[in-house]
Structure formats: structure tokens, C-alpha cells
Amino acid sequence: LGAKASARRAALPAAGGGAIAGVGSPSGTICPQPGANCQTADVSFGLTSDGTLFSVADDFRLAVSGSVSQVCFRGAYFDFTVNLDCGAQGGNDFIINYYADAGGKPGTQIASFRQSLGTLTVGGPIATGQRLAGTADEFEFVASHDPVPLSAGACYWIEIVDRLPGSCSWVWEGALPGNEWVLQDDEADGFDFADSLPDDMSFCFDQPLMDPAPCRPPPPPNDDCLDAEVISGTGEFPFDVTTATADGPSHSACLKNGESRIDADVWYCWTSPCTDRIVLSTCQLTNVDTRIAVYEGCGTCPPSDLALLTCNDDRCGDTLPPLQSFAVFDAVEGQSYAIRIGTFPDAIRGTGRFSLSCGPPAQSTCGPAAGAEDCCAPTDPFGLGCTDASCCNLVCACDPFCCTTGWDTGCATTGFLNSGCGAELLCEDLCGPCGTSTVDCCVGVASGAGMGGCNDPLCCEAVCAKDSFCCEVEWDNACATTGFNNNGNGAAVICPALCGSTHCASGTFTFVDPPSGSVDARQPHPPGSPEMLQGITQIGLTGPVLQSSVPTCWSVCETDTGGQAANEVVDVSTDGAGNFVLTLARPITPGAVTTVTYTNDDGFTTTGVFVSHPGDVDGDGVSGAGDVLDLLNVLSAGRVPRGLVPDLLRWDIDRSGAVGPADVLRLIDLLTGADGYAVWSGTQQPACGTCCP
């Protein structure tokens, strides 16, 4: 991730915040406009717009012709010099500018209003009670100015900045995705395509809005995989990702700086003129923070992980930071390869060139005649190159320093500042981590440990041939188990004799939906149908970041099966980000305690406890008349404030998905034994017994 992109997009990064419906909806609002007049706010992020370092503008269209004289918007105040929330600020000097559209960017200025000049009246800041990006207090503003006549359906731009005194900056709150085209000028040189970010900003007018999609400039002709530009031969080729969209998939091999996506990509179909190791590079050929990927064959869109030959983000040893890309792959003469040139997510865009060559250029300092230095070890401070010509030429093509100045530790290992331009990564067969690593192939390392490879050479090489991330970055849980996104490229699948298929990774799980200890007071079956059992069948958890977890790692214990077959976990799904969903073979048994336990390979366990006790609304351990009163109090807000998120396990007795009067009637049926139910009144909550740890 480039420093420039970080300073822009990450002004207030997402920190778990959510969306809010319309700019004027939460408590503390002063905005009178309806949702149809708004770009719906998203409290999870914002962009700095202080009018000095950064200025933000967003496009829009009116649904009807009319004059805009009022704007509602939201934001926060933050001191980036010390990373502190500034809270409400006085001395605001808001400026609102309107522009005509100039092909996807602000053109001629239509109107300009400024608070300090008396042409703009601003109400606020009014605290909404929310936190922007979970980082700074959110405030709402309502600005009024002279009418600005605008035409329906035409594209316009609004710029809002606040020139505050002191070190605090104003951050304009973002919006839910619209046409995802915002410009944030950070060089005071005017808005241009290079300032684009895939975002939208939140605001409301006193006129209705319409879809701004037509305002976004058209993408390049090779924006989509199916429209790849046909190229051949070697040399340099131009690219332009200024207005490109993201068309391809994410890959584990692309994971770096917490991101595996390739943004703003364009596509090429290249026919190789040689059978050789091909060098693809954007080093010194662009200012764009590039990400590149190469796939075997053209025309299969989107390409799969199996077709991916290589992916690279930052690997140019002669720049600091190394934001451009360098990749190597084996090609066969006459065969076609899909080349994908894009950016790190949310990075600056622009134009540039990429180069393709059959093998790296030869260096006079490479080869046996150049010296007797081992490529896998650093030389004396002034030693140039190393003795293996193939490895030496490749490393020096990525980082010329290694042949012009000295073969240092970076050249021999993972490159200067881990740029990737080192023999350990570029010459894996000679200096790679397989066989020399101490990492257990079947266990892996914690995320972020940065230890590539594992201790069994055959398994290590086989896995890394499928997923180079496992050797180039780290041998994580995905490498040790079933591969990234369960693609089969992990040791448990590729090396079954070594790791088997029942590997249970280390880590602790938390039962969240429902939480451990939950009591299910709902009906155990539909009225009159005791054979159709209802109950908890899926359980949501959070835990270690794994790409898979096999059901055999989980066990189920029930204090009573009710005459049914023993329950078990039949499926475990995960999003690869530490969130899991377990699926049981059947609903948990009514009137029983069910425990679900995860046991890792080291014998450590995590257990969730779930109780089915129909009618026990108040959770006091006894089902009876008091539960009816408790549910009535819920419905009348006698004890539970209106607006509280319902506890559906306790209150939604009829399993309708909502809490209402029908649940009281069904609760009475449960307690009295009507409609085919057992009589649950007077029953005690079951004990956990031997099922609990």
C-alpha cells in the first residue's frame, strides 16, 4: 500500500461501523430532507477535506430541474498529527463549491459559497451520538446559501471543505456505494482522474436525487477480462487504469498488507515468442502502485486459482517504498497468457508501461567467472553479483543494486526491506525455504509471523507450486490445511500421507450466534406435529483465521437424544476471516442440554453450551405462569424499552421471526399441553451433567 493512498483513503478507515439510513435519521439530527434527497451515509469511513492538504468532490444528478439552496452533510474532526478525536470545533469556515461536469471530473465552477464571507450559513455541529469509523464523534451540519439552478439528469459536482484553524482536520463522511467515483485532490493542482477513489460521499439536497452512474467516465476498452487487449512479442506496453473498474477475483497469492484484491484492473492476452522464464515488470515504468497477475490461457473469465501462475504487489528493489511490481513465470512459445495490470485497493490510479522479456538481461557480474560467492548468502560489502548466472541475473533485473553496488543480505534473502527482490524468493530451487524451514507443514504459523515454507521439502515444494504465498509470505493455516478458500492447495490435501485430512488447527473459538449458555424457550415443534422437531441447527462462531475446519474436529454431546440418532456436526463453513457457521445433523433435543466442542491436534478444547427449555421465557430455570407475565411485559414495554433488539430465542415462541401477541398464545399452549405439546409448566431447566466440561 502506497503512502499516498494511505494518507488519502485511510483518513478515517473502516473500523466496524455500519450504514445509516439517510443523512438525517439518527438522534440529534437537524436535517429536514427525506431519503430520496440523500446519498445514504455510511458511518464506517470518511475522507479528509480540509481545503489545504485535501479537497473532496463528488458527482450527482437531480431527478427534477430546480434550485439547490440547502445541503445537509456529516463529518468529524480529527488531529492526524497525534491521532486523536478533536470533538466539536468552533471556528468552522465551510466552503461549498458547485461545478459542471467535464467528462467525469469537475469542470467550470457554477457557484461558490463561504461561511467566513457570509454567503454560507451553517447550522451545527450537532452530535448524532455515533462514531465515524469507530474513531471520532460524528456531527451533522445543515448549510443554506443562495439558490443554484440545476437541470434534471445533468451531471454536476459538489465540493465541501472546512478550513479550520489549528491542527484539527475536518473529515467528510462517506456514503453507501453508488457509482463509486469520488475525487480527492491532494496536491492543490485541481481535480483530475489521478485523484479518483472508488467511494461516494454523503449529503442531502432540498431537491430529489437520481442515480449518478452516468457521471462516471467510461472505463478503458480492455477493462473486462473478456475484452483483453491482444499483444505479442517482448518489450514495453502501455497501460491506463485511470478509470478502470475491478473485474477479476482475489487470490491468496496476492495477499499483502492485508489485501488479496486487485483493484482498477485492465487485461491483456499475450502470446509468448519463446519457451523461457518470462519477466513481467512495472518497475521504473509508472508512478501507479501496481498489482499484477498472470494466468495460463486467455478467454476463461473470471480466471480460477488453478490458472494463476503468479501474482505480485510490491517488488522493485530500487525504490522506497517499492510500490511497483515484478513477476516471473514459465512460458511456452506460441502459448497465450492472460496478463492483469491493476492497483492495490484504493491506491492512486494513472498510466504507465509494463515490460515483458524472455529471461532477465544478462549481467557481467553474474556467473562463475564473476566471482565465487554463493547467491544464497551475502558477500563482502563490495562484492558484486553471485556465481549462479540464472539466479543472479533474475535478482539484478529486479534490484540492480545487487550487481552495481553489492550483493548484500537483501539480495541473498527476501530483498531490500523485504521488497521480494532476493534470491530466497526469486531462486526458490536454489535458496528457497523448502527443507530449511522449521515450520510444521501440517500446523503452519500465526497470521503475520512471516515465516515461509515448511520442514518437509517434498510437501513444501508441492504446495508452493500451487500457491506461492506459502513460501513467499508465510506458511499459514490455509497452507497447512485445505488451501486458500478451500481450493485444495494445502498440505492436508496435497500431502495426505504427512498431514492427513482430519487436521484440527490450534486456536480458540467463541460461540456468538447463539452465544454459549443460551436458553431456547421457543416451541419445540409446530402445533400438532411433534414429529417435525424445531430447534437450533446452525451456530455462528468467531475464531482463528482459517480457510477451513473439518467437521471431525467437532463433537456433540446431548443429555437426552429423545430417541433420535446421535447428533453431530455435518458441515463447517467459513469466510476465511475468522467467522464460522456450524451445521448440525438435526435440531437440538427439546428439554435437553447440548454441547458442541472443538478439539485441536494438541488436545485443547473449546465448548459451547445450549439449553432447550420450552416456555422458560425469563430464563429463571422454571417454565410457568411467570413466563407469561414476563412476555406480556416485553410486548407492553413494561420492563424492556421499545426498540430493544428482540431476544428471539426467548420471546419468539412461535418461531415467526418477530415478537407479538401470537407468541403469548403459543406460550400458553406450551405450558398447558395444548395442540399436541407436552406440558412444560413446572418443568425444570435440564442439568448439563456429563456433557459439560
284-296 confidence digits (pLDDT tens): 899 899 999 999 9
**More confident: 449 or 164:** 164
- Kindly tell me if the per-residue pLDDT of 27 is higher than 50: no
Cis peptide before 220 (omega within 30 of 0): no
Give the closest residue to 472 by CA, choosing from 341, 311, 280, 330.
311
**Weakest mean pLDDT among 217-226, 314-323, 639-648:** 639-648
Residues 49-65: pLDDT tens digits? 998 889 999 999 999 99
> Which pLDDT value is given to residue 293?
95
CB 151 within 8 A of CB 65: yes
DSSP category for residue 274: S
What average pLDDT does the segment 647-653 reach? 86
pLDDT band at 347 (very low <50, low <70, confident <90, very high): confident
Check pLDDT > 90 for residue 188: no
Q: What is the 3-state secondary structure (H, E, C) of 410-478?
A: HHHCCCHHHCCCCHHHHCHHHHCCCCCCCCCCCCCCCCCCCCCCCCCHHHHHHHHHHCCHHHHCCCCHH
Coil, helix or strand for 262?
Answer: coil
Distance between CA 347 and CA 195 in Å, rounded?
10
Taking CA atoms, 71 is separated from 95, 207, 211, in Å, by 12, 10, 18
**386-406 per-position pLDDT tens digit:** 888 989 999 998 888 888 888
Q: Where in the chain is the domain with CATH 2.60.40?
A: 510-609
pLDDT of res. 110: 97
Q: In this predicted model, what pLDDT tens digit does every residue of 544-595 receive, in sequence order?
A: 766 556 788 899 999 999 889 999 999 888 776 778 899 999 999 999 999 9
Give me the residues paired with residue 571 across strands: 583
The rounded Cα 446 to chain-centroid distance in angstroms is 19
| Residue 196 Cα distances to 191, 199, 343, 346, 501, angstroms | 9, 9, 12, 9, 47
Mean pLDDT of 162-166: 92
Which pLDDT does position 638 carry in this prediction?
40
What nine digits make up the cell of 220?
478503458
Q: Which stretches of 600-635 are assigned E, i.e. beta strand?
A: 605-612
**Residue 270: its pLDDT value, please?**
97
Answer yes or no: is pLDDT of 497 > 90. Answer: no
Helix, strand, coil proportions of the chain in percent (round to 5)?
Answer: 15, 30, 50
Calculate mean pLDDT across residues 126-146. 93
Residue 249 CA to residue 228 CA, distance in Å, equals 15
The whole-chain average pLDDT of the chain stands at: 85
**Grid cell 522464464 in the structure block, residue:** 277
Q: Is the pLDDT of residue 645 over 50?
A: no
Residue 48 pLDDT exceeds 90: yes
Rounded mean pLDDT of 124-148?
93
Q: How many residues does the chain have?
A: 693
Helices (H) and strands (E) in the chain, counts: 14, 32
Sequence-distant (≥ 6) Cβ neighbours of residue 403 within 8 angstroms: 363, 364, 365, 366, 384, 385, 392, 396
Q: Spell out the CATH class of 225-358.
A: mainly beta
More confident residue, 188 or 634: 634
Task: Find cell 487436521 and name the residue.
Answer: 503
| pLDDT on residue 150 | 97
- Which residues of the chain form CATH 2.60.120.380? 225-358
Asked which of 1-10, 267-276, 371-380, 539-548 is least confident by mean pLDDT, the reply is 1-10
Q: What are phi and psi of 152, to 5 degrees?
A: -65, 140
| Gap between the Cα atoms of 26 and 66, Å rounded | 28
Stretch 228-235: mean pLDDT: 95
Please tell me the predicted confidence (pLDDT) of residue 644: 41
**What is the C-alpha to C-alpha distance for residues 559 and 569, in angstroms, rounded to an integer?**
16
Q: Which three cell numbers stand for residue 41?
A: 451515509
Residue 680: pLDDT band (50, 70, 90) is: very high
What distance separates the 2 farthest-apart alpha carbons in the chain? 95
- Report percent pLDDT > 90 for the chain: 46
Choosing among 1.10.8, 2.60.40, 1.10.3470, 3.40.50, the CATH entry for 510-609 is: 2.60.40
Residue 201, strand partner residues: 174
Dihedral through CA 147, CA 152, CA 157, CA 163, nearest 10? 20
Q: Is the pLDDT of residue 596 over 80?
A: yes
What percent of the chain lies above the pLDDT cut of 70?
90
